Amino acid sequence: MTKKETIERAERAKAKKAAFGEDIAIEKYASGEEHEALNSLDEFPEEYQQDLLDAGIEPSEKDRSGSFLQRDCSVVFSTAKHPGLELMSTTDALKKHDWLKDYLWKAVPVDQDKYTADVELGQTQGYFIRSEPGKKVTMPVQSCLFITSDKTGQKVHNIVIAEENSELHIITGCSVSHAVNSALHLGVSEFYVKKGAKITFTMIHNWSPGMEVRPRSAVVIEADGAFISNYILMTPVKSLQMYPTAYCVGKNARATFQTVIYAHGDTKIDSGTRAVLRGEGSRSEIISRVIATDNAKVIARSDVIGEGTNARGHIECRGLMLSDTAEIDSIPELKATRKDLDLSHEAAVGKVAEEEIQYLMSRGLSEEEATSVIIRGFLNVDITGLPEGLARETKKMFDMSLEKVT
């Protein structure tokens, strides 16, 4: 597809409503201010340092193989320290690599809906991360997309490529300054896991009650490749709708998604995960934990489509209700198109069991402490597939997010 054709398709989809989520008036938001580049992350204004930390970003860059920071619509910091790792803005990457254009809109269709179209037509940066063939970048790359100006429409296009037999670990945070009352984040992310490669992607969304968010992510996994996603959202958000999709196209391709959502305030979330198992023996596991309290409304979708011989997919979604004015819709779906495969799901929505509270109280906790232990336990999914140090760090970030809510 030529650039011209891409633009034409985007133009035609400009008014195309998304399949899910309420329609957002994109035109309310403007392209944000431009910001000066930084020499180090420490130079990022003091008032935002805590927000960076909350989004899992280590300002000292200790134990990181690279860092990327985009403020509103400007990439203000980008550096790769590890040999075999490439990290820069998508714009720069397209200038550097002529072949990269072939990866654009290959996993996510440009005319999927008005949001993908708008990212094509009004793109403001995004990151490009690539590990060279055979290179294991064991220390994580950190990236952060940060909004500091009111009424900003941040529209990023991210491309992540793990070349054959390489390994990439990414910690990424999306965050917003306390001063922002309303803003829009459109994020297209396309991941390519080549033969025998592995990507782990740990994402913390640290939004605020005025944020409207429409991520559009897809992953293409080749033979023996693995993609592991950990997603954490603990802060309120006005409206978030996403449906990241993994295409396991190669033999024995594997995809794992773990989603942890604590929805409070007037949060509205429609969050799905889809795995398309095309490759022979490909596997997927989708795990989600959702807590809804206050007036929060959460639709938790999951979908596994089995097409390949001996494909195996499992969905496990659990919801916990803490208020009578909240809502959880749990919608697991399975679709099989051949006989040699195995798909399953378990879904449950419930309350904090009285019996569990009493049990903990009989070991000396107050009712409040007991409830908090149960909630933390509920959200405590095993973070699998990460190197030990990163797993520990992810756990720490996770605990930090939990501190705020329980």
Partner 1 sequence: MLEIKDLTVEVIGKEIIRDLNLNIEEGEVHVLFGPNGCGKTTLLMTLLGFPNYKVTDGCITFKGVDITNLPTNERVTLGMGMSFQHPPEIRGVRLGDMVNIAQGRKEETIDEDVIALAKRLNISVEFLNRDVNLGFSGGEVKRSEILQLLAQSPDFIMFDEPDSGVDVENIELIGVIMSELLDRNKMPSKREKAGLIITHSGSIMRHIKADRAHVMLEGRIACSGMPDEITRNVMETGFERCVELCVRSKEVDAE
Interface residues with partner 1 (CB under 8 A) are 318, 353-356, 358-367, 373-374, 376-381
Q: How far is the CB of 161 from partner 1 (least distance, A)?
A: 35
| Number of Cα atoms under 13 Å in the Cβ half of residue 250 | 20
> Residue 2, Cα to own-chain centre: how many angstroms?
29
17, 358 Cβ separation under 8 angstroms = no
**SS3 state of residue 246:** strand
CB atoms closer than 10 angstroms to residue 109: 14
Q: How far is the CB of 353 from partner 1 (least distance, A)?
A: 6
Cβ neighbours around 138 below 10 Å, total = 13
- Least distance between partner 1 and beta carbon 83 (Å): 35
Answer for the pair 227, 252: CB distance below 8 angstroms, yes or no: no
By beta-carbon proximity to partner 1, the closer residue of 221 and 357 is 357
As measured in angstroms, the least distance from the Cβ of 380 to partner 1 is: 4
CB of 237 to partner 1, least distance (A): 24
Smaller CB separation from partner 1, 53 or 373: 373
Query: What are the residues whose beta carbons fall under 8 Å from the beta carbon of 202, sequence distance 6 or more?
Result: 56, 140, 169, 170, 171, 172, 229, 230, 231, 232, 383, 386, 390, 394, 397
Query: How near is the Cβ of 300 to partner 1 at its closest, in Å?
Result: 17
With residues binned 3-state (H G I as helix, E B as strand, rest as coil), the percentages for the chain, rounded to 5, are 20, 45, 35
Which residue, 83 or 364, is less far from partner 1 as judged by CB? 364
Nearer to partner 1, 170 or 290 (CB): 290
Written as six digits, the tokens of 69 are 């920071």
323/358 with CB nearer partner 1: 358
Residue placing its CB nearer to partner 1 in the complex, 178 or 359: 359
Which whole-number Å values give the CA distances from 256 to 142, 230, 238, in the listed order?
Answer: 20, 8, 27
Q: Smallest distance from the beta carbon of 343 to partner 1, in angstroms?
A: 23
Looking at the Cβ atoms of 4 and 363, the one nearer to partner 1 is 363
Burial of 105 (C-beta count, 10 Å sphere; 0-12/13-18/19+): buried
